[in-house]
Amino acid sequence: MQNYNIYINEKALIITSVVNNQVEKAQIIDGQHFDLSKFYDEILERKEDHFYILSDNPEETFNELTKTVKIIEAAGGLVESAKETFLFIKRLGKWDLPKGKLEEDEVIEETAVREVEEECGVVVNKLNQKITDTYHMYKMKDQVILKITYWYSMSVDEETELTPQTEEDITEARWLGKSEWSMVFENTYPSILEVLKKSGATN
């Protein structure tokens, strides 16, 4: 059964049927009468890093709780070259993966490829399987936003020269072999770590 990890900065609200008892600094909260938009302001003040809502049907609970926030859809990708290196970007000082918002009349797979190509100046040769979805909350003009990002595995035939899209606050785009991923792990977002783990590329 799917869990839903909603990230708020470095903290996570996890809607699940089973709690991971090995996680430190965690709290179980009552999902009854829970207001996700109000919780956004509270979670940043709490000392715990992980908050669990237990549910027999996490999908149904997720759909119900997210009715109080605005949802934005985005898509991106983990791109592997023929040399078995992977495409990473540095945005706002942290390692990230290329992604962007869904445009009108665009299907998710088209968004994922377009955003990767626009943000890095690369041509995607093949769109592979879907990796996972991630959920991230932030605030814009006093409105709480939930961004759902759909992630795909992609591949390119050559390790081409990259051109970071600076107008999107991307300062660097690099091909990194797995031996270089330690610097990514040390300076990235929890949602990106989730994508890398679920891609199977970290094994």
Summarised one tens digit per residue, pLDDT across range 74-114 is 999 999 999 999 999 999 999 999 999 999 999 999 999 99
- Which residues lie closer than 8 Å to 47 by C-beta, 6 or more apart? 25
How are beta strands 143-155 and 126-140 bridged, if at all? Answer: antiparallel
Q: Per-residue b/e over 78-99, b at no fewer than 16 CB within 10 Å?
A: bbbbeeebbbbbbbeeebbbbb
d(CA 71, CA 77): 20
Give me the sign of the Cα torsion angle 186, 37, 131, 18: positive
pLDDT digits (tens, 9 = 90+) for 37-68: 888 888 888 888 999 999 999 999 999 999 98
Q: How much is the pLDDT for 169?
A: 93
Could you give the CA distance from residue 6 to residue 51 in angstroms, rounded to a whole number? 10
- Please tell us whether the domain made up of 75-131+148-199 is placed in CATH 3.90.79.10: yes
- Nearest of 94, 98, 97 to residue 188 by alpha carbon: 94
Q: pTM, whole model, 2 decimals?
A: 0.92
* Residue 127 identity (one-letter amino acid): L
Q: Name every residue whose Cβ is closer than 8 Å to that of residue 109 and which is 6 or more positions away in sequence.
A: 75, 127, 152
- In this predicted structure, the answer to whether residue 1 has a pLDDT above a threshold of 80 is no
Task: Tell me the percentage of the chain whose pLDDT exceeds 90.
Answer: 72
* Domain assignments of the chain as residue spans, ordered by start: 4-68, 75-131+148-199
Between CA 117 and CA 119 the distance in angstroms is 6
Q: CA-to-CA distance for 60 and 56, rounded, in angstroms?
A: 9
- Strand-pair category, 126-140 with 11-16: unpaired
Give pLDDT, residue 41: 86
Please provide the size of the chain in residues.
203
Mean pLDDT of 156-181: 94
Q: Which two tokens stand for residue 44?
A: 């940043």
135-166, pLDDT tens digit by residue? 999 998 889 999 999 999 999 999 989 999 99
Q: Would you state the pLDDT for residue 45?
A: 87
Q: How far apart are CA 76 and CA 74, in angstroms?
A: 7
* Mean pLDDT confidence for 117-132: 97
